[in-house]
Amino acid sequence: MNTLFTQPLKVVNAGLQSFASNIQKVGGDVTALSWQPPAQGDVAAGLDLAALLCHPRVEQANQIAMERYLNAQPALVDVMFAHEAIPAMAERKLILHSGPPISWENMCGPVKGAIVGAMLFEGWATSHEQAECLILAGDISLEPCHHYHAVGPMAGIISPSMPLWVIENKTNGQRAFSNFNEGLGKVLRFGANNDEVLNRLSWMRDELAPALKAAVHQLGELELKPLMAQALHMGDEVHNRNAAATGLLIKRLLPALLSCNLPLDNVQRVVAFITGNDHFFLNLSMAACKAMMDAAANVPFSSMVTVMARNGVNFGIRLSGTGDQWFQAPANAVEGLFFPGYGVNDAAADLGDSAITETAGVGGFAMASSPAIVKFVGGTPADATNNSRRMQAITLGGNPAFTLPALNFAPTAAGIDARKVADRGILPVINTGIAHKQAGVGQIGAGITTAPMTCFVEAIRVLAKEVQNGDKA
């Protein structure tokens, strides 16, 4: 014991950095560990977490969910109007929005503006005031896209007359849907609803959709995982950067379009619209990821996250093992780069269903493949690589279909495990656009955010009860 006090002091400090700093100031050799209590220091939740770690039921369920996700083969098979693809939209006046459920009174500005725009587009109202009166009277149903196997970026609005991409998982026949990408500027997904927006939506319904439907039928079907994988090798991460994926899509669609005997001026307008929008593939990427995650859903006792989504107010997640239940918390702020003239005070909270890409292991999880994305969302190429590496600590494994050249072609981290998130204090990273908090202003920047820890802690509590009940049965 006496010899111990005569040796140089070497300390491992877990917790507050200030403790380590004080030891360093007096000449001590200290290794600082970034550590915090699991489950936000909640003792009861920590005990629930401990019961789930290495639990055989959970481990087996996660293996099944992960296999279903990996085996999913999403393919573009059709273009349909929403009222055709989603039967509930033919039965009542239904508008779908992004994120978890939320009442009209609590919605953010861009989502409210987009819903009003959809009602004007459908002819259900002739003014903003009339639209709001119909909503408050209960004449319009407002529900999340995810409740109908659908996804939409930003406000995520889908109304009955809007065309949808139809993605089918060829492994199980289940379908997922997404609306069309409108491009940048004044668009519905940011809450704009003027004549320019409504005229564009009408053109997309009347001319773009029939042309793309004909092209898809001419093509037969288009497997999306190989296209996404190729785009990752070309500098995309298929969330905020889709330039390569859109180009690859055009290579396949254009010959089919030219074979459909459509009027030349029609084809010219369609091609000009697609080539003028580098984000055109985003909605296909989202629907493909939705199809992959739906394949992993509803496996009893699984702690795998199958949905992450935001509505501009709250962030919500779903676990495979807890069915359709949402776990919500206030959405985290987005840290990033703002367009000139805008700042943090102008921004809406995190918004959109596009975090389904990160849920499926691309987007922010694949930033190492897209170093150029940091020019858009902030940070450095090293930050992008570190984000991809860090996500390996909170996932069940990797997806060999999606590989990252910058990491020696390692598979992207995939299969977010709520247990690991709560235990290790590492939150899923998401790169995202930033919307102005007022309807119609549009995108004002882009950056990086994370899912709130509270969602995962609450999910752990519920899953632990499910597993406990299963053990008793």
Q: Which are the contacts of 217, defined by CB distance < 8 A and separation ≥ 6?
A: 78
Can you tell me the mean pLDDT for 7-25?
A: 77
Tell me: the pLDDT tens digits for 338-397? 999 999 889 988 999 999 999 999 999 999 999 888 888 888 899 899 999 999 999 999
Q: What is the pLDDT of residue 36?
A: 76
130: tokens are 């009339």
Can you tell me the mean pLDDT for 116-127?
A: 98
By mean pLDDT, which of 33-37, 73-77, 128-132 is the weakest? 33-37
Cα separation values, 261 from 101, 217, 256, 264, 267, Å: 44, 13, 10, 8, 9
Does the pLDDT of residue 10 top 90, yes or no? no
CATH of domain 71-286: 3.90.1710.10
Q: Find the Cα–Cα–Cα–Cα dihedral 206, 200, 241, 267, rounded to 10°.
A: 50
% residues pLDDT > 90 (the chain): 80
Helices then strands, each counted (H, E), the chain = 19, 18
Domain ranges of the chain: 2-34, 41-69+296-472, 71-286
Looking at the domain 41-69+296-472, which fold is it? v583 fold (3.90.1700)
The pTM of the full predicted model, rounded to 2 decimals, is 0.93
Is residue 449 a contact partner of residue 350, using CB atoms and an 8 Å limit?
yes
298: tokens are 């509803």
Confidence bin at 12 (pLDDT 50/70/90): confident
Is residue 463 a contact partner of residue 321, using CB atoms and an 8 Å limit?
yes
43: tokens are 């003792």
Does the pLDDT of residue 4 top 70, yes or no? no
- In the block, residue with structure tokens 């596009």: 354
- Beta strand 10-14 with 29-33 is parallel
